Amino acid sequence: MYPSRFQYEAPRSIEEAIALLHKGGGEAKVLAGGQSLVPMLKLRFASPEMLVDINNIPDLDYLRVDSDGTLRIGALCRHADLEKSMVLETHQPTMAAAAPLVSDPIVRNRGTLVGSLCHADPQGDWASVMVAVDGHIVAQGPKGRRSIPVSELMKGPFQTVLAYDELAIEAVVPAPKGVAAGGYLKLERRVGDFATVGVAVAIETTDGSVVRAGIGLTGVGGSTINAKDAASALVGAPLSAASIARAGELAAQAAQPRSDHRGGATYKRHIVSTFVARILNEVAESKGKAA
């Protein structure tokens, strides 16, 4: 487990990091938590010429809510910070449900949400959660900053639309339009295993009626899947047995699973619809109780 030779840089500012990435000309990789990158280096699946370690850049580890309810997660905010945060519990229940299910406690202590998004592993948990809650990232390059919706960030397995000299500096989740509810369910063979199937569902309701919904799917396609039609089927009415079933069906149709040693494609589709229904039924049930 000996990586190939690489140059190691530890910049102290965002600008310095971007300059290094620019200099690297596409052969540099950003190191944040390193929980995916370091194993890939050791297995020599990745052999970048330069590592730009951003851990020395100050003030990137934040998790905060703006006065308008917007949630901001800095590039060095660890999974464990999200797991422990009370903010998610009140503002983004779908994220709160996912946080303890990301990999294992050791990975969560070090790995970052923004890093997970940039790694663009179709089996990553956060991407589908961020799709469900309509999040975006803020990327900064030599020409300045831009916002990229997470649903448009992934180009394919381990590929994003980020330019080689752009650094993702934060993830942003807009304030819910109504009362936020939702959940994340993951089928994994073992804690720390990549998801066989992961399903993120976020809904926002006003006066009992769904005003916005998002459904993101993990591990059932070449990249994170935004099950738009399934989510749309929920909007405009209160949750009902029929709309829940319909959303499950449409989500299963949106999935593009492959059969592998984690399970057959048919099985994975079945789990998608089952999990969508389970999350929504639980939301409906708790709303019923509250009302």
Partner 1 sequence: MGLDEIKIGGLGASRRRVEDNRFIRGKGNYIDDIVLPGMLHMEILRSPLAHARIKSIDATKAWAIPGVRLVLTGETMASRNLAWMPTLSYDTQAVLATDKVRFQGQEVACVVADDPYIAKDACEAIVVDYEPLPVIINPQQALAPNAPLIRDDKENQRDNVVFDWVVGDKDGTDKAFAKADVVSKLELHYPRSHPSPMETCGSIADFDRSTSKLTVYMTTQAPHIIRAAVALVAELPEHMIRIVSPDLGGGFGNKVPVYPGYVASILASILLERPVKWIEDKTGNLISTGFARDIYLRGEMALRKDGKILGVRMHTDSDHGAFFSDAQPSKFKIGLMHSAFACYDIPAAHLTARGVYTNKAPGGVAYRCSFRVTEAMFFQERMVQAAADDLGMDQAEFRRINFVRDDDFPHRTPFGFLTDSGQYGKCLDVGLEAIGYQDFLRQKADAAKKGRLLGIGISTMTEPLGAGNSREYDILGIKMFDSAELRVHLTGKAILRTGAKTQGQGHETTWAQIVAHELGIPADDVTVEEGDTDTAPFGMGTYASRSTPVAGAAVAMVSRKIRAKARKLAAHLLEVSEEDIEWELGRFYVRSSPDRGVTIQDCAMAAYTNVPDGLEPGLENNAYYDPPNLTWPFACYIATVEVDPETGVWDVLNMVAVDDCGVRINPMIVEGQIMGGLTEAYAMASMQFITFDSEGNCVGSNYMDYLLPTAWETPGFELHEVVTPCPHHPIGAKGVGECATVGGPAAFVNAVMDALKGTGVRNIDMPLLPDRVYEAITQRHDVSGAPPVKMDDT
Q: How far is the CB of 209 from partner 1 (least distance, A)?
A: 29
Taking CB under 8 A as the rule, does residue 104 contact partner 1? Answer: yes
One symbol per residue from 3 to 22: x for binding partner 1 (CB under 8 A), - otherwise; what is it?
xxx-----------------
Residue closer to partner 1, measured from CB, 64 or 258:
258
Residue 134 CB contacts under 8 Å (≥ 6 apart), including other chains: 149, 151, 173, 174, 202, 212, 214
Contact 200, 215 (CB under 8 A): yes
Question: Beta strands 159-160 and 167-173: pairing type?
Answer: unpaired
- DSSP-derived pairing of the beta strands 71-74 and 167-173: antiparallel
Distance CA 41, CA 83 (A): 27
Residue of 90, 206, 232, 259 interacting with partner 1 (CB under 8 A): 259
Task: With beta carbons less than 8 A apart as the criterion, state whether 6 and 47 touch.
Answer: yes
Q: Interacting stretch for partner 1, rule CB under 8 A, among 63-71, 158-166, 239-247, 270-278?
A: 270-278
Q: What is the C-alpha to C-alpha distance for residues 177 and 174, in angstroms, rounded to an integer?
A: 9
Minimum CB–partner distance for residue 261 and partner 1 (Å) = 5
Residue labelled with tokens 């303890």: 100
CA separation, residue 190 to residues 34, 186, 193, 196, 262 (Å) = 21, 11, 5, 10, 11
| Single-letter code of the amino acid located at 153 | L
CB of 260 to partner 1, least distance (A): 7
Q: Is 266 in the site for partner 1 (CB under 8 A)?
A: yes
Regarding 2 and contact with partner 1 (CB under 8 A), the answer is yes
Name which position in 191, 237, 241, 242 contacts partner 1 (CB under 8 A): 191
Which span (37-45, 81-89, 136-144, 161-169) binds partner 1, by CB under 8 A?
Answer: 37-45
230 binds partner 1, rule: CB under 8 A: no
Return the SS3 of 15.
helix
Q: Verify binding: residue 256, partner 1, rule CB under 8 A.
A: yes
- Rule CB under 8 A: choose which of 58, 207, 261, 288 binds partner 1: 261
**Residue 124 within binding range of partner 1, rule CB under 8 A:** no
257 binds partner 1 (CB under 8 A): yes
**At 196, phi and psi to the nearest 5?**
-70, -45
Q: Give the residues lining the site for partner 1 (CB under 8 A).
A: 1-5, 39, 43-44, 104, 187, 189-194, 196, 256-267, 270-271, 274
